[in-house]
Amino acid sequence: MDSPESPHIDHCLVPKKVGPCRGSFPRWHYNALTEKCEKFTFGGCNPNRNNYLSEEECNQACDQVSVDSFPPSTRIGGGNVPKLTKLVSVLDEECGKPCGPENFTCANGCCIDKALECDQVSQCSDGSDEGQCANSIAASHCTQPPVTGPCRNSHTMWYYNPYEQICSRFNYGGCQGNDNQFDTMEKCLTFCNKITEKDVFANRATFEKWSHDSQSVSIAIAVALGLAILILLAVLGYCWLKDRKKQPRRQHVSANGTHLLYVDDTEKLVYNSTTKPI
């Protein structure tokens, strides 16, 4: 079996980490105290290594990891609860050497495991691993796929697409939405202007579907407005022509000193009051 200092055991002993984002993704983690894989809800960003897609994957990674494998010196009071902060080397800040791609570099130049950033516990002695987490939480709003919700109201809102780095309109039903919705495009762009696809945990196809639907709705609205304008113009033109036809064309003429009045082309000549029949 692996030694208590091996990376394999490190992964299995690290506590579960929901992360700062507010998504909802089913995951599995290994609980070293119960020696079982347990289901939890992952927020969608800044995971640690004790994060598995399935129970089977979790069991394969952490099978045979047990607190009984650790010497009494690593247990609290010699009991069955391991001193995880001492046992797991990834929890220690390491200084005096370059940080690798698997590390988070503290502001003081020391290294910790990258998965420990924004876990609500400061491993960097200067606290820099938790210092930017408020920004991470705010930025997580912009990576959530837009949600119309089950209600049937109609509110035009804006959501941010981190893949295209643009804000697009969508129809919000009025309830059970998420944080990726803004009243105006300006607010959307201001809040999310630095978010890119690197920050995204959700499937790209989800955003592409919404982007396509948004464009389709915009085109449909433009076509409908165009047709409405054409119909309105046609109705107005028809009414104008119909009204013009109803107006009689009157014209006074003089024939042999007699005043005659033509009333439209289809009507007969009408004598005036001074005309006597022949």
pLDDT in tens, 13-70: 878 888 877 778 899 999 988 899 999 999 887 788 899 999 999 999 998 786 665 5
d(CA 80, CA 145): 44
User: Which CATH architecture is the domain 94-131 placed in?
Assistant: Irregular (4.10)
Give the residue from 64, 29, 33 showing the smallest Cα distance to 48: 29
Q: 56: left (phi > 0), else alpha (psi -120 to 50), else beta?
A: alpha
pLDDT number for residue 193? 83
d(CA 260, CA 264): 13
Q: 176: left (phi > 0), else alpha (psi -120 to 50), else beta?
A: left
Return phi, psi of residue 10, to 5°: -50, -45
Cα→Cα distances 157→14, 152, 178, 202, 225, Å: 40, 14, 12, 20, 20
pLDDT tens for residues 61-89? 998 786 665 555 444 444 444 444 444 44
Residue that wins the pLDDT comparison between 230 and 262: 230
Residue 210 has pLDDT above 80, yes or no: no
Hey, which CATH number is domain 142-240, 3.30.200.20, 3.40.50.1000, 3.30.300.20, 4.10.410.10? 4.10.410.10
d(CA 50, CA 24): 17
CATH class of the domain at 1-91: few secondary structures
Of 43-47, 103-107, 155-159, 244-248, the least confident: 244-248
* Common-topology check for domains 94-131 and 142-240: no
Q: 39: left (phi > 0), else alpha (psi -120 to 50), else beta?
A: beta
pLDDT number for residue 95? 92
d(CA 190, CA 188): 6
Q: Which helix (H) or strand (E) holds 113?
A: strand 111-113
3-state secondary structure of 75: strand
The one-letter code for the residue type at 56 is: E
**How many Cα atoms sit within 13 Å of 5 on the Cβ side?**
2
Residues 49, 79: contact at Cβ < 8 Å?
Answer: no
DSSP 8-state secondary structure symbol assigned to residue 216:
H
d(CA 102, CA 91): 13
- Beta strands 155-161 and 166-172 are antiparallel
Residues 143, 154: contact at Cβ < 8 Å?
Answer: no
pTM, two decimals, is 0.43
pLDDT, mean of residues 246-273: 53
Name the range with the highest mean pLDDT among 204-213, 225-234, 262-271. 225-234
167 Cα distance to chain centroid: 10
Domain extent listing, the chain: 1-91, 94-131, 142-240, 248-278
3-state secondary structure of 103: strand
